[in-house]
Structure 1
Amino acid sequence: MDLRVFLGIVCVLSVKFTSSEAKWVEGNLQSNSDWEFLGRFCFVSSKGSFVYSFMYPVDYGTQEVLLYYDAPSQWDAVYKKNKNCTAKVSVLNPQNHQIIALNTSNTLTSRYSGCHFTQRDGQNWYNCTGSRTFRSMRERSWYIAVARCGKSNGNVAGLKLEYAMHMTNGEPDDKITFSADEFCQTNTGDAGVDGGMIAGIVVAILVVIVVIVVVIVVMRKKKSGGEHYETKEEDGRDERPEMTPNVVYITPASY
């Protein structure tokens, strides 16, 4: 069997066992805290998408959606750490679009939040819809939180947020996405491992082993027949595009 045909079959089998639907997270948050975790997703492609809808009363002031990635200086530096709200937000770089301020102002963090005013139950609410694109050189877990470190506009405390989030690897309208959510280590303490997840991991490992063995065998046969193969390794340099709105970047030192 031709090597390319065999690898094609293996890839199809890999997709069959590791593919999953895009992840939806939605809920109605009411908390006395000023910082709360909302959800996590592992983006495995160089271009992941995050589409959101947030609503909350204007009386709560400005609530901010925070986008952390799995680095010691980011998520590990704030999760279950004895830090106040301001300190947890300060590890994020606004220039990388990791903070979404949910209000209608024209600041760096709120300019592309997609927020407008709406009336609900006789109250003014913020209604915010928009999207972000995640760019990274490797697969990463992203952790989404919400915070309100400033004062409220009324006699309220804590956080209040109705939210719906759609996270995919690829374009936002992809019907089927490929997530390594099962393979990324989580540090939220709320995820369990079921039999299906274990089976998927085992199958994926076996597929990888088979591919490696077949490639080695074929390359040895080709080499013995006088054919020469060259491999090109990437030099690891960060070819970062210009910072653009609605794109969440990772700083070069943290790849």
Structure 2
Amino acid sequence: MKSIIISSYLPMMACILLSLMTATESKRFVGVYSQYTDWGFLTRFTFLAEHGWIRYQLIYPQEYCCENLLFYYDEPHQWPAAYKTNLNCSQKEALLDKNSGQIVPLNPLFLGSGCIRDTINGVKVFKCTFARRFRAARARWWYIAISNCNRNPKNPLYMEYNINMTNGYLDWNKEFSADEFGENEVDGNTLTLPTRIDQDKNRLKSSSYLSPRILETDVAFFICFLVLSIASIVVAVILKNRQLFHSTYKYFMAALFLQTFGVMFSVIHYGVYAQNGIGVEFLRLFGRLLLAASDLVFLLMVILLAKGYTVVRGRISPGGLVKIAVLMTLYVIAYIALYIYEARFFDPGEVLYLYESPAGIGLIALRIIAWFWFLYANFITLKDYADKRVFYSWFIVLYTIWFLVIPVLVLCAHFWISKWARARVVNGIEFAITFYAYGLFLILTWPTRANSTFPFHIRTTQIGVLSEDERSDNFGGRAYAVDGDQGKPCNRDLTDMFAAKPTAGSVIKGNIPS
């Protein structure tokens, strides 16, 4: 039944991948904007205080003249005041300071635009190629838009664009937005750099102004999860030899391997992204799919353990399985709906990272609901099986932290973490709390006599024979049942432990052989 539950999710998880195929996070933007409007949003980027550069090539027909390139930053009187408000085109332009270069007229008469007259396929166009440097008191989000407040209603606001936004000059970091690696400050002020590019490069190479970015974070956690995966295999061999390699531990291993491969694909994507600003989009999306699947499988394992499966029960009743199947199915359906929303309706002009969107809020709500269900299942198990209170007391406390850290973090990020740093901080803490959850389970299930919290003492040969109501003390009540031949499986015939009572379906209770 439980294998059917998991296998039935695979098509659903594939839907997530397909729904995300249109999503992209590239900082090199190539495309065409064409809308019957006077003002339009193109893209956004977090530039460092002194190290941000934008290089662009913009093309539009001369008959649509004259269009402007606009640069808004994230202060309330700038981008929030302009985007999706009732201001008209001229009022949105009036929010900007033309003398600071926030408005760039895209025509040859303005020398700072880099525009020339050209003819492409018989069409007379303005072709604007230029590079601009961003200077600000701190790292901040910048939003790039185009406008033509005197547009002929018969003509669209049209622009073919190729935009590359970078930070600094070092090959390993320049393609990343500052929200993906961050910036340190000295004495409350951002570092200042010389004006010459060669001097800038030397200063950057000798400076530690960059804090770890998403790529370094992912690499570090990939190594951590890989070490955990190897350790889990070692423990699995020991458990199998002792007939304690239960399905819950197999779910743990499946979730851990999915997590490891998901992070690996993310590392590959960001490694390529660091070189070309585009990355390998399919690997990024597939990695996200694996991470989502890992979260779901691990949640299933936690719920099964909370119900007492393989700890105090040899099996879950059909009614219990149905409840778990319904919960997990709803969770997966909600996951799919939320990711589809992210892919189709995610507005980069309003949302800085996932948890600021309705999709992210939905994920937080689901996590809290699952936590309440987790508490309920644990308390019911503790009430009926007090002999396992040591394991379940630790289990409740430690995994409550796993359930609640992300909701609390998102709440704190909203009030106390700078907008441009939220995505990077949340990404790192998400991996940290996941590593905590997997590492903690490996510690709890480490098969040594010194481990008083070891949960398994029902052997795999007894699973499926026991009724849901049989107590763990009927099998010795040990923290860990070890065979007499250190690590060798017990060959004693267990069939004499079970004899049918007059009531069909019941068994006579017995003890695990020591």
Q: Is the 2:143–2:349 contact (alpha carbons within 8 Å) kept by the matching residues of 1?
A: no
Partner Cα separation in structure 1 for residue 134 and residue 90 of structure 2: 24
Tell whether the 8 Å contact from 1:115 to 1:128 is kept in structure 2 after alignment.
yes
| Mapping of residues 180-195 of structure 1, within 5 Å | 180-182=178-180, 188-189=349-350, 193=354
Name the counterpart of 1:136.
136
Instruction: Indicate the SS of the match to 2:86.
Output: coil
Q: Deviations over 1:64-111 (max 9, x none)?
A: 010000111111110111011100001111110111111011xxxx22
Q: Paired residue for 1:122?
A: 122
Aligned 8 A contact 2:49 2:134 in 1: no
| Letter in structure 2 aligned against 1:30 | S
CA, structure 1 residues 202+45, in 2 after alignment: closer, same or farther (shift >3 Å)?
farther
Alignment correspondent of 1:94: 98
Counterpart of 2:165, as a letter, is M
Give the corresponding residue for 2:59: 55
Query: How many pairs were matched up?
Result: 178
Name the TM-score, length of structure 1 as normaliser. 0.61
Indicate conservation of the 8 Å contact 1:22/1:176, yes or no. no
Shift, 1:203, TM fit: 7.1
Distance in 2 (CA, whole Å) between partners of 1:89 and 1:101 is: 12
Deviations 1:124-148 (A, max 9, x none): 1001000110011211000000000
User: Kindly, what percent of the aligned residue pairs are identical?
Assistant: 37
The aligned residue for residue 160 of structure 2 is: 162
1:1-255 correspondence to structure 2 within 5 Å = 23-105=27-109, 110-152=110-152, 156-171=154-169, 174=171, 176-177=173-174, 178-182=176-180, 188-189=349-350, 193=354, 200-202=427-429
RMSD: 3.1
Cα 1:198/1:70, change in 2 over 3 Å: closer
Determine which structure has more spread, i.e. the larger CA radius of gyration: 2
1:174 CA displacement: 4.2
Question: Is the contact made by 1:59 and 1:156 (CA closer than 8 Å) also made in structure 2?
Answer: no
Give the counterpart letter for 1:99 in structure 2. Answer: I
TM-score, scaled to structure 2: 0.32
**Residue ranges of structure 1 left out of the alignment (5+ in a row):** 1-20, 207-255
User: 1:78, 1:95 → 2: CA distance?
Assistant: 19
Shift of 1:170: 1.3
Instruction: Return the structure number with greater strand share.
Output: 1
> What is the CA-CA distance between 1:197 and the residue it aligns to?
6.4
- Structure number with greater CO (CA < 8 Å, separation at least 6) is 1
Tell me which stretches of 4 or more aligned residues in structure 1 moved more than 6 Å.
194-199, 203-206
CA apart distance, 1:191: 5.9
Select the structure that is richer in helix. 2
